[in-house]
Amino acid sequence: NTMKIAFIGLGNMGGPMALNLHKAGHEVQAFDLSKPACDKLAADGVAIAASATAAVQGAEAIVTMLPASQHVEALFLGSNGQPGLLAHIAKGALVIDSSTIAAATSQKVAQAAQAQGVDFIDAPVSGGTGGAIAGTLTFMVGGSTAQLERARPLLEKMGANIFHAGAVGAGQTAKICNNMLLGILMVGTSEAIALGVANGLDPKVLSEIMRRSSGGNWALEKYNPYPGVHENAPASKGYAGGFGTDLMLKDLGLSQENATAVKASTPLGGMARAIYAAHSIAGHGGEDFSSVIKMLQKKQA
Ligand code: NAD
């Protein structure tokens, strides 16, 4: 059955996710602060609202896909004395936040939502822009079982795997564990390819050998950091689109903050954070995170 859905945040991930809800027959009202992001979706036939407040009018479900904690908190709870979006959301509505943010922020917004009779779950995703376009994302949900079951029909239109991680915030914790591992393995994969290339190996041949060997991983399967190995990977498109270095840096910051809080030992996560920070400062913050291989390669003469 058709639902009225507000979708806020139409970037590399949110754009294709909103389009999949639209294609599934839902009545989507989309909004982003960036006009180009709105225009792109409008060209695909999705209705664009004049503001976030306008988008949530009459919405039964609200999906958000924003960069970081501060964007989610400011949007829902308000900032600079301005009221947040929660005040405009109908009682009984469901909010699905798929941004990767601090678990504590998800819990804070969920509590405020509950006080207004609004359900709020964290449902961060994995699978990259390819997964967002294909509708095959993995969702990691934090919330009650009843809330997850409410969200499931919508999540199924955007993803292929839906996991219940635990109470609100638990989806975020699962996500930062995953992304800490992803950050580490992208650096490791880049080092290995750069080493082989420095020895004169063909990056395609070496990547295929490692993919089928004990070093095989997601980067070697789908997201090779070396240009030209995977035609559709950001590396083959000048590191445009994809998952930004600064977003990976944010996630590695979240995992290190969390490790500090629970006194966990995450030495490689810490090292990966430092490497992405240096890469960002060198001017690569807006490029896809697989561009970290540039730090590890001999410069072309
Ligand atoms: P992005 O930067 O491409 O898009 C974010 C969008 O949010 C931008 O278009 C921006 O204009 C918009 N925005 C920011 N504040 C807003 C506001 N107040 N109201 C309306 N729009 C606002 O980022 P992305 O790659 O789509 O990632 C979004 C989230 O998903 C991040 O938390 C990221 O860590 C996570 N994520 C990304 C990927 C990926 O592969 N790109 C994969 C999994 C998870």
Determine the Cα–Cα distance for residues 199 and 202; give it in Å rounded to an integer: 9
At what angle are helices 170-198 and 203-211 packed, to 10 degrees?
A: 130
Give the model's pLDDT for residue 1: 83
Q: Is the CB of 9 under 6 A from ligand 1?
A: yes
Determine the Cα–Cα distance for residues 17 and 23; give it in Å rounded to an integer: 10
Q: Is the CB of 186 under 6 A from ligand 1?
A: no
Give the model's pLDDT for residue 298: 83
Give the model's pLDDT for residue 299: 79
- Closest Cα to atom 4 of ligand 1: 11
**Interval between CA 32 and ligand 1 midpoint (Å):** 10
Residue-by-residue DSSP string for 227-292: TTTSTTSGGGGTT-SSSBHHHHHHHHHHHHHHHHHHT---HHHHHHHHHHHHHIIIIITTSBGGGG
**Interval between CA 104 and ligand 1 midpoint (Å):** 19
**Interval between CA 73 and ligand 1 midpoint (Å):** 14
Catalytic site includes residue 175:
yes
Determine the Cα–Cα distance for residues 290 and 81; give it in Å rounded to an integer: 39
Give the model's pLDDT for residue 233: 96
pLDDT per residue, tens digit, the chain (301 aa), is 899 999 999 999 999 999 999 999 999 999 999 999 999 999 999 999 999 999 999 999 999 999 999 999 999 999 999 999 999 999 999 999 999 999 999 999 999 999 999 999 999 999 999 999 999 999 999 999 999 999 999 999 999 999 999 999 999 999 999 999 999 999 999 999 999 999 999 999 999 999 999 999 999 999 999 999 999 999 999 999 999 999 999 999 999 999 999 999 999 999 999 999 999 999 999 999 999 999 999 876 5
> Any bridge partners for residue 244, and if so which?
288
Helix (H, G, I), strand (E, B) or coil at 2: coil
At what angle are helices 170-198 and 267-279 packed, to 10 degrees?
A: 70
Determine the Cα–Cα distance for residues 118 and 110; give it in Å rounded to an integer: 8
Contacts of 99 (CB under 8 A, 6+ apart): 9, 64, 65, 66, 67, 68, 71, 72, 124
Determine the Cα–Cα distance for residues 225 and 194; give it in Å rounded to an integer: 10
- Count other Cβ atoms within 10 Å, centred on residue 210: 18
**Interval between CA 208 and ligand 1 midpoint (Å):** 32
Q: Is the CB of 233 under 6 A from ligand 1?
A: no
Strand stretches in 143-212, DSSP E: 159-166
Q: Is the CB of 129 under 6 A from ligand 1?
A: yes
Give the model's pLDDT for residue 151: 98
Which atom, in ligand 1's list, is nearest to the CA of 101? 32
The answer to whether 121 and 143 are in contact (CB under 8 A) is: yes
Give the model's pLDDT for residue 301: 58
At what angle are helices 69-77 and 103-115 packed, to 10 degrees?
A: 10
Pairing between strand 78-79 and 82-83? Answer: antiparallel
Q: Is the CB of 33 under 6 A from ligand 1?
A: yes
In the numeric block, the tokens 């955007």 are attached to: 158
Determine the Cα–Cα distance for residues 139 and 13; give it in Å rounded to an integer: 13
